[in-house]
Amino acid sequence: MSEISNQLTDLKKSLPGSCTLVAVSKTKPNEDIMEAYRIGHFDFGENKVQELTKKAEELPKDIRWHMIGHLQRNKVKYIASFVHLIHGVDSFKLLKEINKQGRKANRIIDCLLQMHIAEEDTKFGLDKNELTELLSSEEFKEMKHVRIAGLMGMATNTDNEEQVRREFRGLKNLFNEIKNSDHTNVQMNILSMGMSGDYQIALEEGSNMVRIGSAIFGSRNY
């Protein structure tokens, strides 16, 4: 087995069965993705639309592609027909565009609403008031081509584990709150939090989807 296969196999064994591992394949060549695919891994994450569409064209059609980066509204049309899950929906305007392109592609597109949980300005995301406003708006309730599958959040990039834990815990509480209320077009099955550096804390705080790249593929290629 190759290094990638070994890393991936070990990582999967360490995760709870209820957790989905999204292998972050951004900047990685098709050969690396195929190594993971050949041992039965199907969920891969990309952060650039151009790279995502190229790989989706060239690689097996049963791969589940996750758009994990910041998504511009004018790029949605390129991935609407095949994307498995859009992780970073950080505005109502973006959600409206996804719904519009979902209608054109004649499918319902699963999305995660990205919440701003980090104590830094560099991360995108909604705050709690914006989330509540979005979910209770009549316009959202009328959308037939998007489904909110859960929430996503990225913790502050810090060595302070307590802070990271606090941020993840806050998102988990919000996830439970929304899950226990009744909203149209909302399923709340996925809580996506945790990356290579902090996924263990995220799992302890209730994450059921992690996005891991360097721990599988090694450092990024630029």
Tokens read off for 61: 């059609």
pLDDT at position 9? 93
Identify the CA nearest to 213 among candidates 22, 1, 13: 22
Distance CA 95, CA 86 (A): 10
Q: Residue 220: what pLDDT?
A: 60
Domain ranges, residue 150: 3-217
CA 14 to chain centre: 20
The structure's pTM equals: 0.94
Number of structural domains (the chain) is 1
Q: What is the DSSP string of 156-174?
A: -SSS-HHHHHHHHHHHHHH
Q: What is the pLDDT of residue 185?
A: 85
Q: Tell me the C-alpha distance between 166 and 196, whole Å.
A: 18
- Give residue 123's pLDDT: 63
Answer yes or no: is 222 within a domain. no
Assess if residue 163 is contained within a domain: yes
Tokens of 115: 């919440």
| Residue 130: its H or E element | helix 128-136
Other C-beta atoms closer than 10 Å to the C-beta of 181 total 12
**Could you list the pLDDT tens digit for every one of the 222 residues in the chain?**
688 999 999 999 999 989 999 999 999 999 999 999 999 999 999 999 999 999 999 999 999 999 999 999 999 999 999 999 999 999 999 999 999 999 999 999 999 999 999 887 666 899 999 999 999 999 999 999 999 999 999 999 999 999 999 999 999 999 999 998 888 888 899 999 999 999 999 999 999 999 999 999 987 654
Q: How far is CA 146 from CA 31, 55, 60, 98, 106, in A?
A: 32, 24, 25, 7, 11
Assign residue 165 the CATH number of its domain: 3.20.20.10
> Cα–Cα distances in Å, from 72 out to 33, 69, 88, 126, 130?
25, 9, 10, 15, 19
Residues in the chain: 222
In a domain, 209, yes or no: yes
